Amino acid sequence: MGKPKTTQVNKSSNMSFKSISAVTIRVGTAPNTEDFIAHESFLTARSEFFRRAMNGNWKEAETRIINLPDDTAKAFACYINYVYTGQLPTTSKTTSELKKLTEDKFAYHVDDLYEIIFGVFVLSEKLQDITTKNAMMEAALATAGLIGIDGSTRGPSYDVVNAVYNSTPVGSPARRLVTDMWTELSIEFIFSCFRYLHQGFVEDLGKSLQNARKPAENILVRKGVAAYQEEMKEG
């Protein structure tokens, strides 16, 4: 599956939105807040959250400052970059460049992509921005199709999975996607991560693995009773 060209851009092209006059979005909690300034129309055109905040019935409509104390500046910077440009501030690599990366560097690159993509999805869930949520699902699927030097692909880490489950409602498309991604992983790997996984994810993954299983053969019949009996010692 090819990478959608509308979801990635070199980090050097990352736009700054801190000097455009309109609405101020204050991200984080004091004293570590960061302000972003964006056109109101860009935000309200796609986000129900921003539409309600600026509809005249809330103090934000008067102060023109919208607080997002529970979110990170990194996630919002990526979100606003996508809103304005249709691109994420990630480092793009060609197929040949990816195959030149060591396994560790490939893993780091893909993990970074997943962290950004699902971070933007989680924020878009809160902001009720369906357009961006759908775009992030497309970007995540494209990332799942990236191939490393050994011909392998890579799914999201359990840190990313846990972040998704901690910040999205039951039935979220992102939950369904990370569950399907992990369903394709080896059982051995899944068990090695089991104690670190969000309980809701464990339950969803268990159901998905059960549904994906081939009809089990009758192992007892195939092995026979001898497989469960001890051999008699002679003498």
CATH number at residue 49: 3.30.710.10
Is residue 174 one of the residues assigned to a domain? no
Q: Is 215 domain-assigned?
A: no
Question: Which whole number is the average pLDDT over 163-178?
Answer: 96
- CB distance 47 to 117 below 8 Å: no
Residue whose tokens read 């949520």: 133
The amino acid at residue 82 is Y
Tally of CB atoms within 10 A around 102: 11
Taking alpha carbons only, the member of 103, 187, 117 closest to residue 156 is 117
**162 lies in a domain?**
no
User: What average pLDDT does the segment 135-153 reach?
Assistant: 92
When pLDDT is cut at 50, 70 and 90, the band that residue 110 belongs to is very high
Average pLDDT over residues 86-107: 88
Q: What is the model's pLDDT at position 228?
A: 85
Tokens of 182: 């992990």
Percent of the chain with pLDDT over 90: 66
pLDDT for res 230: 85
The C-alpha torsion from 157 through 161 and 166 to 172, rounded to 10°, is 160
Flag whether 67 is in a domain.
Answer: yes
Q: E-strand spans in the chain?
A: 8-9, 23-27, 34-38, 65-68, 88-89
Flag whether 62 is in a domain: yes
CA distance 175 to 165: 7
CB 47 within 8 A of CB 89: no
- Following DSSP, what letter does each residue of 11-52 receive, concatenated? GGG----SSSSSEEEEES-TTS-EEEEE-HHHHHTT-HHHHH
Say how many domains are in the chain: 1
Query: pLDDT tier at 173 (50, 70, 90 boundaries)?
Result: very high
* Residue 79, in any domain of the structure: yes
Sign of CA dihedral 220, 221, 225, 226: negative
Domain-embedded: residue 227: no
Domain that residue 147 falls in: 5-155
| Residue 167 is assigned to a structural domain of this protein | no
Work out the mean pLDDT of the chain and round it to a whole number: 88
* Amino acid at the residue 214: K
